[in-house]
Chain A
Amino acid sequence: MKKPYFWDYPPRKDKPKHLEQLKLIINQTKMKKLKTTKPWVLSLLTGLGLASCVSYFDGEFEELSFTGEIAIPLGYVDYTIGELLEEVSSSDLVIGTNEENVLTFVYSESITAQNGADLISIPDQNFDIDIDPEINMPTPSPIATTQTINKDFDIQFSDISANNEELTMASFNGGKLILELSSTLPVSAQVDILIPSLLSKETGQAYSSTGFVSPDSSVLTFEENLDKYEADLTLSASDSESAFNNIKIETVTTANIRVGDQIQSGQMIVLNVNFTEPKTDKLIGNFKQQEVDVENQTLSFNVFDSFGSGELYFDEPVIRMTFSNSFGIPIGLDLAGIIASKTGEESRALRGTIVDDYQIIAAPSVDNVGESVETTIEITKSNSNINELISYKPDAFEVNLVGLTNPTNGPTQENFVLNNSTVDATVEVEIPMVVSFDQVEISELIEFDQSENLEQVKALTLKVFSENSIPLSGNLRMEFLDASGSVVLTSDQNQVFNAAPVGANGKSSGVISGESEFVFNASDIETITTAKELRVVALLNTYEQGQGTVVKLSGDDQLRLNVSLLTSINANF
């Protein structure tokens, strides 16, 4: 039987026929249950849909994940060359610029101060003077009479030092003058003592005293504080003009002779003159030549602590020694004792014309007592091998200076010393950055623990964009160290910044850009997560590396490093 098409069915309004036709369809299509199931067709369709939904969506939802690349600027670091080198130096450097605006490292330290009291002093002096009254009378004396005798004496300070100083003046600020007067004469006598060399600081009057001695009297003692006096050590009993270290003493002895006094030869009056613990606050004279002790100094010079291998040449270093001298003594300085030392390497001594003769530290004249005179001694490449010593990257300078008073190549002048005279010295090592670097290695160790931050990072490219006006290029590598200090990963060595070009004046003449990247793969990052420290090692080269070109690094030169990250992230949220 032919299967009816839908247009064979009767119109809807023909209800009885329609029902018959419907039955026909049901029979012919074997859909016997359509009549009873038609309300549930929706349920069937919906059920099919839901069932299929379940089949796909019954799996568990995984965490939302992101696998992509994020490019992000992390930040920037601006360095001047001073900051760059300061970063790698632990030295107490003062970084400034000189008159050419060239960056200059200055390292300064004060060295010994010589105290005047230590240079020269007068020890205790003790003198016995026999005063013979020269009584010319018969014995026993037939008459009673009075006889006066004037006598002058010289006493000379001795043992002032082992250098035969010729003192012409001493001003005391301590000690005692002790005069003891005793007599072996059988007569009484008055002794007037005048010390013209010992003048009162207050009145200018010479010291004087009077004593009476008799046969039965004990020793007469006179004590005087010396700090009231200053001594003119040029006076002498003979009025010699060339006297020095001398004390002139004048005595007037008046003897009272009685009838019957028996005066024997050799009987006399004894004057003991004692300078006990004399202290002076000023001495004038000719101090002659003597060595001045300068305490050995070691100037730790750790500016190069972080500099490793490579050739480093400083073209214009200067060691400037400035002395402030308030001694009235020119001092000659022998600089041959300046030695550059470096651990594990042979020391190098300062050489050149500067060590051929004494370098003179000028002194104030006696007309300028109390003042100081400054003297600057510069050690430069024109008078020494100083650029060789600095380029040697020393750890320290040993300063073993030897001084000599009144050197023969110095001025001739009357010397003086005050008890507070000093020679103060400042040593200044000035290193202008007029340099050439050839593969000079610097490094810096910093704490580094990024284990948490790198958890979801699968690859990382660290891009460094540079803008550099410093005529210095830098090749960088990174070394990652674990807790034991062992290097667990070393990055590639890349030129991170290029050297800026240099003009005719040796200074930077422009800005140069650079770009570099450090790529770390998943394995690298896994290793990096174990790191606790990061050592950044840079090889620095000046413009025209290897050709010995010396450049001047200006304080205005700047390096900007823009650090950006390109990270491949596989993160779950």
Chain B
Amino acid sequence: MKKHLIFGIFFLSTLGIYAQGNLSFYQLRDLVPQTQSLTPANMPENGFTFSIPALNSSLQATTDFPIEDLIVQRGNGNLAVDFDNLLSVSEDNNTLGTDLTTNLFHLQLTRGKGSFTVFSNLRAEASLNYTSDLVNLLANGNGQSVGETILLEERIDLTTYNEIGVGYSRSFLGDKLIIGIRAKYLNGQFYAGTGESGSLGIYTDPSNYNITLTSNDISIQTAGTDILLNSEEYESSAFTDYVTWTDNTGFAADIGASFKFNNFTFEASVTDIGSITWREQVVNYVLPNETTTLAGVDLDNSDDPTSEIQDQIDDFFETQETYEEFTTTLNMKTYVSASYTMNDAHRFGLTMYNNNIYGEFNPSYAVSYNWFLGKKTTIGALTSFGGQIQEPKFGANIATNLGFLQFYAATDNFLNLTKPEEGRGADIRFGINIMLGYNRI
């Protein structure tokens, strides 16, 4: 049953992650230390930063469709999930994504031309690539696809892990060149991911409605799902012990560089270069390649046809389980930007971001402007396009200090905050830091 649940999630889930780029948060890289997670070549202007635990978080959820296309408002104000509506806006292939980062702590010390960082983050990423066939199946059943093959090639990746790392950035050539690197020790908690080319074909024969199921390379690798779904079967402290520390370990690195030339600054970074090897709580489910035709049951000799049909389906989805460790790579992110600083108050920028999910190059672009009010405050606006959401988005960001406390917030799609139902997901990053040492220079 558990296996079927997981496969059910695989085929039926509409929740997942396909992270956008934190493009707006990226524009706060001069002031907010946590932007080192996007571009390690970061040289804060203050000497010492300590983040307030759990008050630095980001949440991104991106869909290919406005939320109101899936969650519709009825005439009486009630909300309902409406797959018919979703189908009308679905492409052949669609994506959903969520990226949740909670900064557990961030300690940064800047002296002279170098800046040293120790940090820890709780990361959760999920991505779902789903087909319009799936939405069609959910919306209409198979009745309108008789004679056609419904090909489900859904892919899902769900990962949560802790990262603990150190970083160092240093300026060269009279502060024209900054190079930064971060090394991260990863400790994985939960993972569920499909193979790269799995597909399930569902063909309904128009002559008799027999349903032919064809599975091809379907597999799901999981870790931690058993203790998550069946925690009651473990000792009371087992779950806490597991999420605190596991044997699922890995390493990752972030690297970046920036170069100033007159009023122009060119920056590039690649983050989350690494992998996690999952060893603990591993269960791999493999569905053999096979074709089965559901032709109903012998009605003359069946006491319970419904149960027998269900048994036939269960038999088809009977998986083989293995427990071998496996390694997953992180979704590597790439930022490339060029900015023009008109003066201390005004900066214009052009940024490109790609998250390399499933090896795809599907970049987002942003044109940004930031207005600096002193060296502790900035307000910015940007418009971005590309990536999973082709239509233009308008974002905003702000960072400011109240005494030694720094507050910051950024969103890639400001309109989502005012009318989230019309937006394609949600995106916000905010935090509070203790910032000291602005007079070090």
Contact = CB atoms under 8 A, between A and B. Distances in A.
Interface of A: 6-7, 9-13, 15, 18, 22, 38-39, 41-42, 45-46, 48-50, 52-53, 56-62, 64-78, 463, 465, 515, 562-569
Given A71-B142, A76-B296, A62 B208 contact: no
Nearest to A564: B209
Interface centre among B74, B296, B428 (most CB of A within 10 A): B296
A241 B208 CA distance: 89
Given A7-B342, A45-B396, A59-B79, A563 B419 contact: no
Given A12-B343, A566-B143, A52 B417 contact: yes
Nearest to B80: A62
A73 B299 contact: no
Contact of A56 (B294, B309, B407, B419): B419
Nearest to B143: A69
Interface of B: 68, 71, 73-74, 76-81, 83-84, 138-144, 146, 204, 207-211, 294-300, 302, 305, 309, 342-346, 371-375, 377, 379, 396, 398, 400-402, 407-409, 414, 416-421, 428, 430
A568 to B, nearest CB: 8
A569 B421 CA distance: 28
Contacts of A564: 208-210, 296
A52 B419 contact: yes
Contact of B299 (A39, A75, A566): A75
A65 B208 contact: no
Contacts of A565: 209
A77 B298 CA distance: 6
B296 A57 contact: no
Contact of A6 (B74, B81, B344, B371): B371
A424 B78 CA distance: 85
Given A59-B79, A60-B78, A38 B420 contact: no
Contacts of A11: 343-345
Given A64-B80, A71-B142, A465-B207, 11 more contacts: A11-B345, A39-B400, A46-B428, A49-B428, A60-B78, A61-B78, A65-B81, A68-B144, A73-B296, A568-B143, A569-B141
A76 B299 contact: yes
A562 B208 contact: yes
A42 B81 CA distance: 31
A487 B300 CA distance: 25
Contacts of A50: 417
Contacts of A46: 409, 417, 428, 430
A62 B139 contact: no
Contacts of B416: 49
Contacts of B83: 66
Contact of A61 (B79, B305, B344, B377): B79
B61 to A, nearest CB: 13
B132 to A, nearest CB: 15
B419 A39 contact: no
B318 to A, nearest CB: 20
Given A52-B420, A56-B68, A38 B400 contact: yes
A425 B393 CA distance: 99
B79 A57 contact: yes
Given A12-B375, A76-B296, A71 B209 contact: yes
26 contacts: A6-B346, A7-B343, A9-B343, A9-B346, A18-B345, A38-B377, A42-B407, A45-B396, A48-B418, A49-B416, A49-B428, A52-B417, A56-B420, A57-B421, A58-B77, A61-B80, A62-B78, A62-B79, A68-B144, A69-B143, A71-B146, A72-B142, A74-B305, A78-B298, A562-B208, A565-B209
A566 B78 CA distance: 30
Contact of A62 (B74, B141, B400): B74
Interface centre among A6, A22, A45, A58 (most CB of B within 10 A): A45
A355 to B, nearest CB: 44
A472 B113 CA distance: 97
A73 B294 contact: yes
Given A45-B396, A68-B141, A72-B209, A78 B74 contact: no
A22 B76 CA distance: 49
Given A60-B78, A72-B209, A42 B377 contact: no
